[in-house]
Amino acid sequence: MTPTRVLIDRSGLDALIATLAAQGYRVLGPTLGRDAIVLGDVAGTDDLPVGWTDEQEAGHYRLRRRDDAALFGYVLGPHSFKRFLYPPRQRLWSVSRGSGPDLEVRAEPHDDRPLAFLGVRPCEIAAMRIQERVLTGGEFPDPSYADRYGRAFVVAVQCTEPGGTCFCASMRTGPRAGTDCDLALTELLGPDRHDLLVEVRTPRGEQIVAGLPAREATDADVATANEALARAEASMGRSLDTEGIVELLERNIESPAWGKVADRCLACANCTSVCPTCFCTTVEDTTDLTGQHAERWRRWDSCFNRDFSFIAGSLIRHSTRSRYRQWMTHKLSAWHRQFGTSGCVGCGRCITWCPVGIDITHEVDSIRNHERSASTFHTVGGRYR
């Protein structure tokens, strides 16, 4: 039997990618874009951003050269795997007038090729599970998501160097990958070694690993990986205080903090677009000029867009204050009541990719501080006691 933990080197990773491709998977992973690490097709390790890293802060991202040849020496770029599981635009069905009096309706077929995701960070794995719960766990499951996610092969990379806006430790989604992946890799990079520890998590993962050029991992290798992960957990760029957060936000829907963040918020929808769990969409119907053919498309929408709140003939969220509040209270509070988990996985993308650097962790602190100062005012005998 294949051991559940093996070591591979860069050629072993190339073999893994080649094996997945040979089995019919479209392999997607991190690649070097012009200005950021973006997700794309990966045919081998040469396609990975080898020797690159990223510098991230609120509203700030820069690609930087590393002084080593790390394969996964960076964290998350603006793309999440949501792009592939739940595409920005997707045709749902089309309809044509036939030669007779009947309409011909065609459902959209599923993709031919299954997807394999390489280099998936633990927070992203958590996000996929959350979207699965949201999109397929209810009365009307989304067949396209169920098909894509159900067939996807997931190769996780556990995080040993968190980024400046990462806070997965606060959300308990990382830096270790749980069981919702087929293989979990940890890059072990030192002065005289460059290995990947591969932990097998599923039978099909085991099957793939069996064919790779691999060495058995020693206890010392595992200990090295665990130490790196423990260091990562203690060195997150951000933290979010989740103590009583469901009730905190429910109690503070009229907090002055919402008005303050609305002064800065552009309501541009960047945060919801880069969020790996935001799932809101709208549908659009198209017709051709002749009126012989029509299509229904689904595209990403956002609670920050005005028309998203158009219900029963009118808009219910005119102000940016109400839109930001809707997003954050749903993400961090109402999501628990609706789906049983937080909607935030601590990936930090909404912080990095906000054009004006709004930081969700600071906004939670701001609400706490406003509540605290208000209650202090009450207890020391303010006028409105």
Partner 1 sequence: MPPITTAPVAETRVRTAKPKLAVWKFASCDGCQLSLLDCEDELLTVVGAVDIAFFPEATSTVLPGPYDVSLVEGSITTPHDATRIQEIRAQSKVLVAIGACATAGGIQSLRNYADVKEFTSYVYASPQYISTLSSSTAIADHVPVDFELRGCPISKQQLLELLNAYLHGRAPTLPNHSVCVECKSRGIVCTMVSHATPCLGPVTHAGCGALCPAHARGCYGCFGPKEAANAMSLGSWFTDALKVPDLDVQRAFRSFNADAAVFAEESKRHGE
The distance of closest approach from Cβ of residue 345 to partner 1 in the complex, given in angstroms and rounded to an integer, is 18
Query: 114 preceded by cis ω (within 30°)?
Result: no
CA–CA gap between residue 211 and residue 126 (Å, rounded) = 28
CB contact at 8 A, 60 and 237: no
Which whole-number Å values give the CA distances from 93 to 58, 82, 187, in the listed order?
A: 40, 21, 43
Binding residues for partner 1, rule: CB under 8 A, are 33-36, 38, 59-63, 77-79, 83, 88-89, 98, 101-107, 109, 263-270, 273-274, 284-291, 299-300, 302, 305-307, 318-320, 352-353, 355-357
User: Mapping DSSP to helix (H, G, I), strand (E, B) and coil, where does residue 350 land?
Assistant: helix
What's the closest the beta carbon of residue 66 comes to partner 1, in angstroms? 18
In one-letter notation, the amino acid at residue 335 is: W
How far apart are the C-alpha atoms of 323 and 285, rounded to whole Å? Answer: 26
Residue whose structure tokens are 């209810």: 138
The radius of gyration of the chain's CA atoms, rounded to the nearest angstrom, is 23
Write a three-state SS string for 242-301.
CCCHHHHHHHCCCCHHHHHHHHHCCCCCHHHHHCCCCCCEEEEEEECCCCCEEEEEEEEC
Distance of CA 70 to the CA centre of its chain: 22
Q: Write down the least CB distance from residue 126 to partner 1, Å.
A: 21
Do the Cβ atoms of 92 and 110 come closer than 8 Å? no
Instruction: Kindly tell me which of 87 and 178 has the beta carbon lying closer to partner 1.
Output: 87
For 286, phi and psi rounded to 5 degrees? -120, 150
- Six token digits for residue 212: 């790779």
Shortest distance (Å) from residue 306 CB to partner 1: 5
| Residue positions counted in the chain | 385
CA distance 155 to 333: 30
Report the nearest approach of partner 1 to the CB of residue 265 (Å): 7
- Provide, rounded to whole angstroms, the least separation between the CB of residue 190 and partner 1: 31
- Cβ count within 10 A of residue 210: 13
Nearest to 120 by CA among 77, 65, 57: 77
CB of 138 to partner 1, least distance (A): 23
- Cα separation, 258 vs 41, whole angstroms: 41
**Least CB distance from residue 340 to partner 1, whole Å?**
28
Report, in Å, the least distance between residue 283 CB and partner 1: 10
CB of 79 to partner 1, least distance (A): 6
Contact by Cβ (8 Å): 162, 237: yes
DSSP 220-244: HHHHHHHHHHHHHHTT-S-----TT
Q: Which of 121/323 has CB closer to partner 1?
A: 323
**Residue 289 or 312 having the CB closest to partner 1:** 289
